[in-house]
């Protein structure tokens, strides 16, 4: 999961609080030290860590809990709120104005993920009904414009490049008349291996001329404390209006990039969570912190699900997981939906209470072709077999294989998948108790938690 190390340390720290009998000054001091250690080891800026923990300590010692909330819940709430404050307060996103085109420029060092993020963002806005084009102004790497063009072609987005022209400003001018046909224009710029004067000057000139509506700094999650200096330098030369932190799917500590945004007062707008075009998440600090603390992020789950299934269906799926209800037909529907939504692990961590659950890798992710075969198998099963798959022994397997035009091996594979799934459901069922407790806790917070959690 995203920042798993930090998440598990914080969850451990909070469970120390939940398990303790007395909440006193000593315990709060320990809590504060644990949080400091966890954040520092995730590369969060030292100064910010101390400011944050001072605040938590002060509030935990002095603030009185509101009526109906016990001391422990109160303290967990303070930690949650202060972490949300540190990591951006509220979802900022990008409000696209109708101005034809709304210009989004991307800047950042070489390899930070600019070009990839441009294509992800183009798809994101295209899906939401905007007419989008990309413009390639990275003139320094010979393959840069080809890469942009290929990626844009793959999602059928128009792309303007000029491989012969070496002055990015000229390329901007060549196509100037075309832009007004688009709602959103996303502009790729060059990077360098390290911060350099000529890179910053090039960005400054482009920024002054193009006057983008949004200037997004793209930073990789793995750059650690260098993030702050980078963000400051870009911001000084071309006002950074927001940040995309990429490679959040890796093992990087990410705290450097996440906290650098706080230091330059530029909000994080999106997270890159993989190499594919769909691996982009709208950044929501409340949901992000909820996930870190193992409280799930239903809002992000529903947002993700929106593109492939209806909101009702998504809720239905997560409820079935939590309740542990399960038969062969459910297995099929779940596999079908999960396949569309992405790896199961990523989905599970967004469900309140299941975030910290260890899942067998890619459990319910099967290939499309296999899924089709299994559908035939299921169609050939009798009602009693669907409800109680344990009835399906050898002679029935052969009958089903014949009837469905598959092989016994394929029928057995489906049954194996079912048993594996059932085993996991049992674990999930056990955890569901915990989900209830969490929801009770969430209710007590009364509106302070992300909306999607208050179920």
Among 101, 108, 256, 294, binds ligand GDP (CB under 6 A): 108
Q: Quote the CA–CA distance of 367 and 407 in Å, as a whole number.
A: 17
Phi, psi of 404 (to 5 degrees): -100, 0
Rounded Cα distance between 306 and 311, Å, is: 6
Binding residues for ligand GDP restricted to 226-255, rule: CB under 6 A:
246-247, 249-250
114 binds ligand GDP (CB under 6 A): yes
Q: Which residues contact 205 (CB under 8 A, 6 or more apart)?
A: 169
**Using CB under 6 A, which of 1, 187, 273, 400 touches ligand GDP?**
273
- Draw the binding track, 275-314, toward ligand GDP (x: CB under 6 A; -: no contact): x---x-----------------------------------
Partner from ligand GDP, Mg ion, none contacting 247, C-beta within 5 to 8 A by type:
ligand GDP
- Should residue 146 be labelled a site residue for ligand GDP when binding is judged by CB under 6 A? no
Q: Are strands 280-282 and 268-272 parallel, antiparallel or unpaired?
A: antiparallel
Which structure tokens are listed for 114?
A: 């600019």
> How many Å apart are CA 80 and CA 216, to the nearest integer?
27
Residue whose C-beta lies closest to ligand GDP: 272
Return the residue matching tokens 């099929």: 332
Q: How many residues bind ligand GDP (CB under 6 A)?
A: 18
- How far apart CA 182 and CA 373 sit, in angstroms, is 43
Task: Decide if residue 346 touches ligand GDP (CB under 6 A).
Answer: no
Stretch that binds ligand GDP, among 24-32, 112-120, 175-183, 413-421 (CB under 6 A): 112-120
Nearest to 2 by CA among 287, 278, 218: 287
Q: How far is residue 429's CA from residue 101's CA, in Å, rounded to a whole number?
A: 50
Instruction: Choose the stretch contacting ligand GDP; rule: CB under 6 A; options: 269-277, 305-313, 365-373, 381-389.
Output: 269-277
Residue 206: which residues within 8 A CB-CB, separation 6 or more?
Answer: 105, 137, 168, 169, 172, 187, 189, 238
Closest distance between ligand GDP and the C-beta of residue 250, in Å?
Answer: 6
Q: Contacting ligand GDP (CB under 6 A), which of 53, 116, 215, 439?
A: 116
Instruction: Give the nearer residue to ligand GDP in terms of CB position, either 250 or 454.
Output: 250
Q: Six-digit token pair at 98?
A: 């109708």
Among 12, 33, 63, 111, binds ligand GDP (CB under 6 A): 111
* Interacting residues with ligand GDP (CB under 6 A): 108, 110-116, 191, 246-247, 249-250, 272-275, 279
């Amino acid at each position: 999961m995203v920042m798993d190390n930090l998440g598990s340390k914080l969850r451990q720290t909070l469970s120390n609080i939940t398990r303790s009998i007395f909440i006193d000054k000593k315990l709060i001091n320990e809590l504060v030290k644990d949080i400091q250690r966890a954040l520092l080891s995730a590369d969060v800026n030292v100064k910010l860590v101390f400011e944050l923990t001072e605040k938590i300590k002060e509030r935990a010692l002095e603030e009185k809990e509101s009526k109906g909330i016990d001391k422990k819940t109160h303290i967990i709430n303070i930690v949650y709120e202060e972490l949300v404050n540190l990591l951006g307060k509220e979802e900022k996103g990008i409000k696209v104005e109708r101005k034809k085109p709304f210009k989004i420029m991307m800047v950042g060092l070489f390899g930070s993920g600019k070009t990839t993020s441009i294509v992800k963002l183009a798809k994101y806005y295209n899906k939401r009904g905007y007419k989008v084009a990309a413009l390639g102004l990275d003139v320094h790497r010979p393959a840069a414009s080809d890469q942009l063009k290929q990626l844009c072609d793959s999602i059928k987005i128009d792309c303007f490049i000029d491989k012969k022209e070496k002055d990015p400003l000229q390329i901007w001018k060549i196509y100037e008349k075309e832009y007004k046909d688009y709602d959103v224009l996303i502009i790729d710029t060059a990077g360098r291996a390290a911060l350099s004067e000529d890179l910053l000057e090039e960005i400054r000139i482009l920024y002054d001329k193009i006057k983008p509506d949004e200037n997004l700094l793209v930073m990789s999650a793995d750059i650690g404390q260098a993030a702050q200096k980078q963000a400051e330098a870009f911001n000084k030369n071309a006002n950074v209006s927001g940040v995309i932190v990429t490679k959040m799917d890796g093992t990087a500590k990410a705290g450097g990039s996440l906290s650098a945004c706080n230091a330059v007062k530029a909000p994080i707008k999106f997270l890159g969570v993989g190499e594919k075009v769909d691996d982009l998440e709208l950044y929501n600090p409340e949901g992000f912190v909820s996930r870190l603390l193992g409280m799930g992020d239903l809002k992000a789950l529903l947002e993700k699900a929106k593109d492939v299934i209806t909101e009702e269906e998504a809720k239905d799926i997560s409820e079935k997981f939590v309740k542990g209800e399960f038969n062969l037909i459910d297995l099929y529907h779940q596999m079908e939906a999960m396949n569309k939504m992405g790896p199961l692990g990523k989905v599970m961590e967004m469900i309140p209470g299941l975030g910290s659950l260890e899942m067998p890798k890619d459990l319910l992710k099967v290939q499309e072709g296999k899924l089709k075969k299994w559908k035939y198998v299921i169609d050939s099963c009798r009602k009693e077999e669907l409800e109680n798959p344990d009835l399906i022994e050898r002679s029935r397997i052969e009958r089903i294989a014949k009837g469905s035009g598959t092989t016994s091996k394929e029928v057995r594979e489906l049954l194996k998948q079912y048993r594996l799934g059932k085993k996991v459901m049992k674990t999930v069922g056990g955890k569901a108790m915990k989900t209830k407790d969490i929801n009770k806790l969430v209710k007590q917070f009364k509106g302070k938690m992300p909306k999607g959690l208050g179920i």
